[in-house]
Structure 1
Amino acid sequence: MKVLKFGGTSVAHSQNILLVEKIIKDESLKSRIVVIVSALHGVTDQLIRAAEYASVKDENYIQMIQNLEEKHISLIKDLVPITEQSSLLSFVKKHFNDIEDLCNGIAVLGELTYRIKDRIASYGEFLSSKIIAARLRHEGLDCIWMNSADLIRTDSNFTNAKVDFQCTESNIINFLNENKNRIIVAPGFVARDEKNNATTLGRGGSDYTASIIAASINAEELQIWTDVSGMMTADPRLASNAKPISEISYHEAMELSHFGAKVLYPPSIQPVMVKNIDLMIKNTFDPEAQGTLISHQLKSSGNEKQIAVGISNMNSIALLTLEGSGMIGIPGISAKLFQCLSQEKINIILITQGSSEHSITIAIEEKEALRAEYAINSSFADDINLKRVYPVKIETELSIVALVGENMKSRSDVNAKMFGCLGNNGINVRAIAQGSSERNISIVISEKDSKKAVNVLHEEFFESEIKQVHLYICGTGNVGSKLIHQIYDQNAYLRENFLVNLRIAGISNSRHMIFSDKGISQEDYLIWDEQGEKASALGFAEEIIHRNLRNSVFVDVTASSDVPEIYESLLKRSVNIVACNKIAASSDFKKYKTLKNTARNHNCNFYFETNVGAGLPVIGTINDLINSGDQIQSIQAVLSGTLNFVFNHYDGSRTFSEVVAQAQQEGYTEPDPRLDLSGTDVARKILILARESGYPLQFEEIENRGFLPGECMHGSVGDFYEKLTANEDYFKNLLNDAENEGKILKYVAEFEDGKAKVGLQHIAPDSDLFHLYGKDNIVIFKTLRYSEQPLVVKGAGAGADVTASGVFADIIRSI
């Protein structure tokens, strides 16, 4: 014999009930079945709400009751032919007359007791089960209606009654022995006390009814039919990649359901768990789906290799901490605390206590925090007055996230993986609890981090094959647009070969910004600037922080001085930063160190390789040298691809102005070429290299021997080109002076003995700087290890493609 339970969504309306009917027909062909049904979806809540309205004399309760009556009458007309409706309609009308009379009485008294609330709440299941039983009989099935309330006996703890199992089991067995029908339909949730008062079985009561009946008759199987295909590895509303769990143990299911998995409630499992009865969770709307089997003995070995089986979470949690020196070594403190909460019927979800015994912290539902605070402070009033303990401290807006699995036991890597991935994503853990069974690790975190934590843990324990990275790209100019196209082009390769999926979750330029947690597609990117909202650096950062997505990387490919101002706030939220923008790393030394330290303290990365040498591994090389114990003694470098291009192409056959214009047209200069030609950019680069080498240099300390005439630095870009042309003789003289010495012109940066300088130099043919063509850069390091033969890094140092590829490489390193 099997027991089937159908929840409120499964019997929400006539179309759903026809699906239920088919399932019942199919199962009844295999064995005799008991069918437990909930009230129609939302009916119990509406009945209670009507009673609450009545208690405050709000006459809307009358219309609510009428609406519910019409809903049930309409259902009868949909499911039962008119010739069979009479008795059923009378049943419905009689019960709604009773409900209205009860609510009228509540309105007169202005009081709603738990006893009356139970009676009103019980009507929904009576009505739905009667209608469904009538429908099955109309279809010719051998069906009888069984009144669960006449069989299940409880105490008088209204709204959450305790079952008398011995009496209940005897009643159920007697009924089923006397009635041999193939299908027995019964209401869930409802029971009676010894005085025949209506009682209910609390939250998840219909599941509990099904479990009680299954245990009483030693059923072959209990089936819970709902609107999802079994238990999932996480809440699919939070983790889009949540997967169904095919098999799970009773203990694992208990843990998951206790900490928020809504498919099943813990009391529902207890009766069948004791009797070792298999429990199946199935989907009414997809009956062919495998569902989840809950049992003592797993049927397959697939789960044996899985460390964890699922993640559950509960929001709206409060932490209450009782602490004080008077608690140390004093027996009975915990008992006193728990007793006062028990008297107030406040459920403790989680408990943690330090070995010092100086404090006890408990987690409860946030809505009960004020009652708990009053109860605890009242109970410990004398100790508080004597300063032995402090008044209870409350923290709210918290969540509990629990990682559950039988196979976590004795695995030393589980905690490391769990807290490592949380820490890498800036999720602070407020409290921790782990039982000696080791099948559950529970943490308390800020509620705003709940979704992020679930996704981070799910990715770590259930999606290890692919790591999801969320990119926020600020800047869509030459480099930014090239970078975005490179990401779209390369992402399939990264997924296949590196198990990384890059998702562009936000894009911004100086005008607009757009966001999508699911990723901005390549097609949407082509028109994104037409759809975005008004942009600002601060607004972009605030939205990134608000969305709080796991594995987030902010990418700055602008030259803006405003954008670096948001770096620190992002780093404090453990958002990795990749910067092409040189302003942050070349700003005041204290600010530069603050950003580096913030990244380290918040367990995230701040990379800016493309600040120097575009895609060349210059900063990375310095870091490797320093980290391995070497020491930078001197640096000599050509660090401007723009200036190198200009002086490589300026041979007197064309004007200096024409060569600069060509460099700008080919994308080697900033929109205002003076930023490159003034040497300021080169000075910033050598400053960054000096700092990364361990020297606390400031920008003002760098000697910059510029070569542009002063008048070229004023006016518009157009004026600048006119003045270059007017000063052509000056530039020719610079060229001729170098050629007369058999040398060439290079703009060189140098660092030695803690000092740095930049300027135009005459370079002889025997120098490593001489054979440097096009837009190439070169950096020559002399170190303790590379003293006789210096270390040389050389290659293309400008251009949107190579710079974008350098940024791309930093993104990959940051994750």
Structure 2
Amino acid sequence: MKFGGTSVGRPERMHQVKDLITRGDEPTIVVLSALSGTTNALVGIGDALASGDKALAKERIDTLYSHYLGFYPALLGKAPTRAKAEAIIKEHFEFLNILLKISFNEAINRDILAQGELLSTKLFYTLLEELEIPAVFLPALDFMSIDENSEPELGKISEKLTAILSQYPDGRLFITQGYICKNHKNEVDNLKRGGSDYTASLIAAAIKASVCEIWTDIDGMHNNDPRIVDKTRPIAELSFDEAAELAYFGAKILHPASIWPAQLYNVPVRLLNTMEPSAHGTLIKESVETKGVKAIAAKDGITAIKIKSSRMLLAYGFLRRIFEVFEKYKTPIDMITTSEVAVSVTIDDLSHLEQIISELQAFGTVEVDRNQAIICVVGNMVSETKGAIKSVMDSLVDIPVRMVSYGGSRHNVSILVDAQYKNPALKSLNEGVFSW
């Protein structure tokens, strides 16, 4: 069971989490994020130290410290556990204050970012102690690791975690941190992409759990972006492939990296709402029966690159040479379309855009369109469902479309539009492809 920052961001919500984790019969590993707002505050502290502004860093440390000093008295009711919580908070903020006196580096920055999850889990564990709820504190740094490419070492994670759990044969509750880990140098690091969701999925895969529950502040994955369109509804079931497509192309509730560990070991994932525990949420599993369009997501910050060359006509190896440029600069491609004399691709990482353009110009003329958005229409076998594509394109009749990617996946149709048309496109698709 994983609980995000908003689920533990207030004392009363930590009490709700306590109720949720104690209502089942199975042994449960509970993964907690940092309190909402904490990670952003820690990033701000790191940024101030990196720029050499220690006065600003001190101000930000003190502001965050005040927040925690106001948090624990509302969480705990007894003097001994309040004293313990205060000591925990002081210890972590003494560490942050010590950093004001030493040289800043990236390893220290990763240590700073780890403080949020360490604080939230220790405070929550103290709450369980006060309420005399038996639990085991399970430090993620003892088993969660990444390799030199920052990829999780699932085999090692499974081996270490299984060994630790075997020491507690009667244990029912285990409390651990999301996001943080050790790297190949045995330094404190983090999972970056996916954060605590990734941790939960990795743990579920490592121990072959019966289910991986991701608790957030909304009732599952919705069929469209509720911040943009008026009518949305939660999706009852998704396949792993459908969920991965939606997560990659903009559904904010789940990071795409969080899907593959659970999918690898066929561990069902449930997306649930801490504020409405009785809501069904979304179940993600290996396969589903329903077909047709299920959901729409959008990804911003896209840049389209078109390479046009008459040399491409009937030439073999041309696309390989194009892709080698992107591989050289470790820049992933989202969409691709080709014609006899041109190829268009989209990227969202602009770190090496100028170098990429420079090298692509050796193959032909290069055109770049910035500020684009990918709209992803997802459903089980949507590409094979009669009328599905017609309803999508009919809905976009008044929207200028830059690219369409269709057929690469049985579950996805991707459409590229200028960012200014993203919201109108989402609204039009919402009315055109769903029955209300």
TM-score, normalising length from structure 2?
0.93
**What pairs with 1:29-44 in structure 2 (closer than 5 Å)?**
30-44=25-39
- 1:17 matched to 2:1? The reply is no
**What pairs with 1:67-78 in structure 2 (closer than 5 Å)?**
67-78=63-74
Secondary structure at the residue paired with 1:131?
helix
Task: Choose from 326, 333, 339 the match for 1:341.
Answer: 326
- For residues 479-507 of structure 1, give each alpha carbon's deviation from its aligned partner in whole angstroms, at most 9, with x where no partner exists: xxxxxxxxxxxxxxxxxxxxxxxxxxxxx
- 1:209 matched to 2:199? The reply is yes
Secondary structure at the residue paired with 2:102?
helix
The separation in 2 between residues aligned to 1:445 and 1:32, in whole angstroms, is 48
Structure 1 residue 121 displacement after superposition: 1.4
Residue pair 2:337, 2:405 contacting (<8 A) in 1 also: no
Structure 1 residue 192 displacement after superposition: 0.5
Residue pair 2:8, 2:14 contacting (<8 A) in 1 also: yes
- 1:61 matched to 2:57? The reply is yes
Which residue is 2:353 aligned to?
373
Which residue is 1:233 aligned to?
223
Which residue is 1:439 aligned to?
411
Q: Which amino acid aligns with 2:260?
A: Q
Flag the 1:347–1:138 CA change in 2: closer, same or farther, 3 A: farther
Task: Choose from 173, 177, 180 the match for 1:183.
Answer: 173
Flag the 1:103–1:379 CA change in 2: closer, same or farther, 3 A: farther
Task: Choose from 214, 228, 232 the match for 1:224.
Answer: 214
Which residue is 2:401 aligned to?
429
Q: Which amino acid aligns with 1:73?
A: L
Flag the 1:92–1:339 CA change in 2: closer, same or farther, 3 A: farther
Query: What are structure 1's unaligned runs of at least 5 residues?
Result: 466-815
Structure 1 residue 333 displacement after superposition: 4.5
- 1:459 matched to 2:431? The reply is yes
The separation in 2 between residues aligned to 1:8 and 1:141, in whole angstroms, is 22
Structure 1 residue 119 displacement after superposition: 2.4
The separation in 2 between residues aligned to 1:364 and 1:283, in whole angstroms, is 33
Secondary structure at the residue paired with 1:438?
coil
Residue pair 2:383, 2:389 contacting (<8 A) in 1 also: no
The separation in 1 between residues aligned to 2:326 and 2:100, in whole angstroms, is 32
The share of aligned pairs that are identical, in percent, is 27
Which residue is 2:364 aligned to?
389
Which residue is 1:718 aligned to?
none
Larger Rg: 1
Secondary structure at the residue paired with 2:402?
strand
Query: What are structure 2's unaligned runs of at least 5 residues?
Result: none
Structure 1 residue 343 displacement after superposition: 4.7
- 1:260 matched to 2:250? The reply is yes
Which residue is 2:95 aligned to?
98
The separation in 2 between residues aligned to 1:148 and 1:455, in whole angstroms, is 42
Secondary structure at the residue paired with 1:26?
coil
Q: Which amino acid aligns with 2:151?
A: K
- 1:146 matched to 2:138? The reply is yes
Flag the 1:100–1:336 CA change in 2: closer, same or farther, 3 A: farther
The separation in 2 between residues aligned to 1:333 and 1:98, in whole angstroms, is 55
TM-score, normalising length from structure 1?
0.51
Structure 1 residue 190 displacement after superposition: 0.8
Structure 1 residue 104 displacement after superposition: 4.6
Secondary structure at the residue paired with 2:118?
helix
**What pairs with 1:295-310 in structure 2 (closer than 5 Å)?**
295-298=285-288, 304=290, 306-310=291-295
The separation in 1 between residues aligned to 2:88 and 2:316, in whole angstroms, is 59
Structure 1 residue 198 displacement after superposition: 1.1
Structure 1 residue 449 displacement after superposition: 1.5
Which residue is 2:118 aligned to?
126
The separation in 2 between residues aligned to 1:347 and 1:124, in whole angstroms, is 31
Q: Which amino acid aligns with 2:167?
A: E
Structure 1 residue 397 displacement after superposition: 2.0
Task: Choose from 382, 401, 412 the match for 1:408.
Answer: 382
The separation in 2 between residues aligned to 1:73 and 1:345, in whole angstroms, is 44
Which residue is 1:315 aligned to?
300
The separation in 2 between residues aligned to 1:396 and 1:377, in whole angstroms, is 13
Task: Choose from 187, 194, 204 the match for 2:184.
Answer: 194
The separation in 1 between residues aligned to 2:323 and 2:100, in whole angstroms, is 37
- For residues 258-310 of structure 1, give each alpha carbon's deviation from its aligned partner in whole angstroms, at most 9, with x where no partner exists: 10001111111111111111111100000011111111144xx5xx2x51110
Structure 1 residue 377 displacement after superposition: 3.1
Structure 1 residue 413 displacement after superposition: 1.9
- For residues 510-567 of structure 1, give each alpha carbon's deviation from its aligned partner in whole angstroms, at most 9, with x where no partner exists: xxxxxxxxxxxxxxxxxxxxxxxxxxxxxxxxxxxxxxxxxxxxxxxxxxxxxxxxxx
- 1:354 matched to 2:338? The reply is yes
**What pairs with 1:691-770 in structure 2 (closer than 5 Å)?**
none
Q: Which amino acid aligns with 2:393?
A: F
Secondary structure at the residue paired with 2:384?
coil
Secondary structure at the residue paired with 2:352?
helix
- 1:167 matched to 2:167? The reply is no
Residue pair 2:135, 2:173 contacting (<8 A) in 1 also: yes
Secondary structure at the residue paired with 2:186?
coil
**What pairs with 1:556-567 in structure 2 (closer than 5 Å)?**
none
The separation in 2 between residues aligned to 1:197 and 1:258, in whole angstroms, is 29
Structure 1 residue 352 displacement after superposition: 1.5
Residue pair 1:354, 1:360 contacting (<8 A) in 2 also: yes
Flag the 1:99–1:321 CA change in 2: closer, same or farther, 3 A: farther
Structure 1 residue 330 displacement after superposition: 4.9
The separation in 2 between residues aligned to 1:40 and 1:318, in whole angstroms, is 34
**What pairs with 1:571-720 in structure 2 (closer than 5 Å)?**
none
Q: Structure 1 stretch 249-258 or stretch 408-417: which is displaced more?
A: 408-417
CA RMSD across the alignment: 2.0
The separation in 1 between residues aligned to 2:127 and 2:328, in whole angstroms, is 46
The separation in 1 between residues aligned to 2:394 and 2:82, in whole angstroms, is 63
Residue pair 2:377, 2:414 contacting (<8 A) in 1 also: yes
Structure 1 residue 412 displacement after superposition: 4.2
Secondary structure at the residue paired with 2:413?
strand
Q: Which amino acid aligns with 2:8?
A: V
Secondary structure at the residue paired with 1:237?
coil
Residue pair 2:383, 2:413 contacting (<8 A) in 1 also: no
Residues paired across the two proteins, number: 433
Residue pair 1:234, 1:242 contacting (<8 A) in 2 also: yes
Higher relative contact order (CA 8 A, sep 6+): 2
Residue pair 1:352, 1:362 contacting (<8 A) in 2 also: yes
Which residue is 2:275 aligned to?
285
- For residues 335-374 of structure 1, give each alpha carbon's deviation from its aligned partner in whole angstroms, at most 9, with x where no partner exists: 44444434544333x2223131x33322222xx43x3321
Q: Which amino acid aligns with 1:44?
A: T
Residue pair 2:245, 2:378 contacting (<8 A) in 1 also: yes
The separation in 2 between residues aligned to 1:55 and 1:153, in whole angstroms, is 26
Structure 1 residue 76 displacement after superposition: 2.2
Q: Structure 1 stretch 63-72 or stretch 332-341: which is displaced more?
A: 332-341
Flag the 1:343–1:35 CA change in 2: closer, same or farther, 3 A: farther
Q: Which amino acid aligns with 1:308?
A: V
Q: Structure 1 stretch 91-100 or stretch 210-219: which is displaced more?
A: 91-100
The separation in 1 between residues aligned to 2:343 and 2:372, in whole angstroms, is 17
Residue pair 1:54, 1:104 contacting (<8 A) in 2 also: no
Q: Which amino acid aligns with 2:406?
A: Q
- 1:8 matched to 2:5? The reply is yes
